[in-house]
Amino acid sequence: MSRLGSAPDAAAFERLARAAFTRIPEPFARHLEGVRVRIQEFADDETLHALGIADGWELTGLYHGRPLDQESIWTSGELPPVITLYRQPLLAEWCETGVGLEELVTHVVVHEVGHHFGLSDAEMHTLEAER
Protein backbone atom coordinates (compact mmCIF):
# COMPACT_ATOMS: atom_id res chain seq x y z
CA MET A 1 0.00 0.00 0.00
CA SER A 2 1.25 3.41 -0.85
CA ARG A 3 2.00 6.02 1.77
CA LEU A 4 0.77 8.68 -0.62
CA GLY A 5 -2.86 9.61 -0.99
CA SER A 6 -5.64 8.87 1.43
CA ALA A 7 -5.23 6.51 4.36
CA PRO A 8 -6.49 2.96 3.88
CA ASP A 9 -10.12 2.65 4.94
CA ALA A 10 -11.78 0.06 7.18
CA ALA A 11 -12.42 -2.25 4.22
CA ALA A 12 -8.71 -2.22 3.34
CA PHE A 13 -7.86 -3.09 6.95
CA GLU A 14 -10.32 -5.96 6.89
CA ARG A 15 -8.73 -7.29 3.68
CA LEU A 16 -5.28 -7.11 5.31
CA ALA A 17 -6.59 -8.93 8.38
CA ARG A 18 -8.23 -11.65 6.26
CA ALA A 19 -4.96 -12.06 4.35
CA ALA A 20 -3.12 -12.47 7.66
CA PHE A 21 -5.54 -15.26 8.63
CA THR A 22 -4.71 -17.13 5.41
CA ARG A 23 -1.03 -17.18 6.37
CA ILE A 24 -1.64 -18.90 9.72
CA PRO A 25 -0.56 -22.53 9.27
CA GLU A 26 -2.33 -25.74 10.18
CA PRO A 27 -3.14 -27.06 12.70
CA PHE A 28 -3.85 -23.59 14.08
CA ALA A 29 -5.87 -22.33 11.11
CA ARG A 30 -8.63 -24.89 11.57
CA HIS A 31 -9.30 -23.51 15.06
CA LEU A 32 -9.95 -20.00 13.72
CA GLU A 33 -13.22 -20.79 11.98
CA GLY A 34 -15.85 -18.45 13.34
CA VAL A 35 -13.40 -15.83 14.63
CA ARG A 36 -14.68 -12.54 13.29
CA VAL A 37 -12.70 -9.39 12.50
CA ARG A 38 -14.01 -5.93 13.29
CA ILE A 39 -12.40 -2.62 12.45
CA GLN A 40 -12.95 0.43 14.65
CA GLU A 41 -11.28 3.81 14.62
CA PHE A 42 -10.36 3.69 18.34
CA ALA A 43 -11.20 1.62 21.40
CA ASP A 44 -14.07 3.12 23.39
CA ASP A 45 -13.52 4.62 26.84
CA GLU A 46 -15.06 1.62 28.59
CA THR A 47 -12.63 -0.77 26.90
CA LEU A 48 -9.64 1.44 27.64
CA HIS A 49 -10.69 1.77 31.28
CA ALA A 50 -11.18 -2.01 31.64
CA LEU A 51 -7.68 -2.58 30.28
CA GLY A 52 -6.08 0.18 32.36
CA ILE A 53 -5.00 2.09 29.25
CA ALA A 54 -5.15 5.87 29.48
CA ASP A 55 -4.46 6.73 25.84
CA GLY A 56 -6.51 5.27 22.97
CA TRP A 57 -3.52 5.63 20.64
CA GLU A 58 -1.78 2.82 22.59
CA LEU A 59 -4.23 0.04 21.69
CA THR A 60 -3.98 -1.39 18.18
CA GLY A 61 -5.96 -4.61 18.63
CA LEU A 62 -8.03 -6.63 21.07
CA TYR A 63 -9.38 -10.17 21.32
CA HIS A 64 -12.92 -10.55 22.66
CA GLY A 65 -14.04 -14.07 23.46
CA ARG A 66 -13.39 -17.20 25.42
CA PRO A 67 -9.94 -18.64 24.68
CA LEU A 68 -9.94 -22.18 23.30
CA ASP A 69 -8.25 -23.54 26.41
CA GLN A 70 -11.24 -22.38 28.47
CA GLU A 71 -13.99 -23.75 26.23
CA SER A 72 -16.21 -26.52 27.48
CA ILE A 73 -19.13 -28.56 26.24
CA TRP A 74 -21.08 -26.74 28.96
CA THR A 75 -20.51 -23.34 27.38
CA SER A 76 -23.18 -22.21 24.99
CA GLY A 77 -25.01 -19.11 23.94
CA GLU A 78 -21.89 -16.96 23.75
CA LEU A 79 -21.11 -14.61 20.91
CA PRO A 80 -18.38 -15.78 18.54
CA PRO A 81 -14.85 -14.55 19.24
CA VAL A 82 -13.90 -11.23 17.66
CA ILE A 83 -10.57 -9.64 16.89
CA THR A 84 -10.92 -5.87 16.79
CA LEU A 85 -8.31 -3.80 14.99
CA TYR A 86 -8.12 -0.11 15.85
CA ARG A 87 -7.47 1.72 12.61
CA GLN A 88 -6.19 5.12 13.79
CA PRO A 89 -3.55 3.74 16.20
CA LEU A 90 -2.39 1.31 13.51
CA LEU A 91 -2.14 4.11 10.97
CA ALA A 92 -0.13 6.18 13.47
CA GLU A 93 2.23 3.27 14.15
CA TRP A 94 2.60 2.71 10.41
CA CYS A 95 3.62 6.33 9.90
CA GLU A 96 5.87 6.50 12.97
CA THR A 97 7.77 3.25 12.52
CA GLY A 98 8.08 2.86 8.78
CA VAL A 99 7.01 -0.79 9.15
CA GLY A 100 4.71 -1.83 6.34
CA LEU A 101 0.99 -1.68 7.09
CA GLU A 102 0.47 -5.28 6.01
CA GLU A 103 3.23 -6.38 8.39
CA LEU A 104 1.74 -4.34 11.27
CA VAL A 105 -1.76 -5.68 10.73
CA THR A 106 -0.42 -9.24 10.46
CA HIS A 107 1.54 -8.79 13.70
CA VAL A 108 -1.55 -7.57 15.57
CA VAL A 109 -3.77 -10.30 14.12
CA VAL A 110 -1.28 -13.01 15.06
CA HIS A 111 -0.96 -11.52 18.56
CA GLU A 112 -4.73 -11.54 19.04
CA VAL A 113 -4.95 -15.07 17.61
CA GLY A 114 -2.49 -16.00 20.35
CA HIS A 115 -5.06 -14.83 22.89
CA HIS A 116 -7.64 -17.02 21.13
CA PHE A 117 -5.35 -19.97 21.89
CA GLY A 118 -5.05 -18.89 25.53
CA LEU A 119 -1.63 -17.25 25.49
CA SER A 120 -1.01 -14.25 27.72
CA ASP A 121 0.74 -11.07 26.57
CA ALA A 122 3.82 -12.12 28.58
CA GLU A 123 3.92 -15.54 26.92
CA MET A 124 3.60 -13.99 23.46
CA HIS A 125 6.34 -11.45 24.18
CA THR A 126 8.60 -14.31 25.28
CA LEU A 127 7.85 -16.26 22.09
CA GLU A 128 8.52 -13.16 19.97
CA ALA A 129 11.83 -12.53 21.74
CA GLU A 130 12.89 -16.14 21.11
CA ARG A 131 12.11 -15.84 17.40
Q: What is the CATH architecture assignment of 10-130?
A: 2-Layer Sandwich (3.30)
Query: Where along the chain do its domains lie?
Result: 10-130
* Residue of higher predicted confidence among 126 and 93: 93
Q: Any idea which of 11-15, 76-80, 110-114 has the lowest mean pLDDT?
A: 76-80
ω into residue 27 within 30 of 0, thus cis? yes
Beta bridge partners of 36: 82
SS3 81: coil
Distances (CA, A) of 28 to 38, 55, 117, 119, 125: 20, 33, 9, 13, 19
More confident residue, 129 or 106: 106
The predicted model gives 7-16 an average pLDDT of 95
Residue 4 scores a pLDDT above 70: no
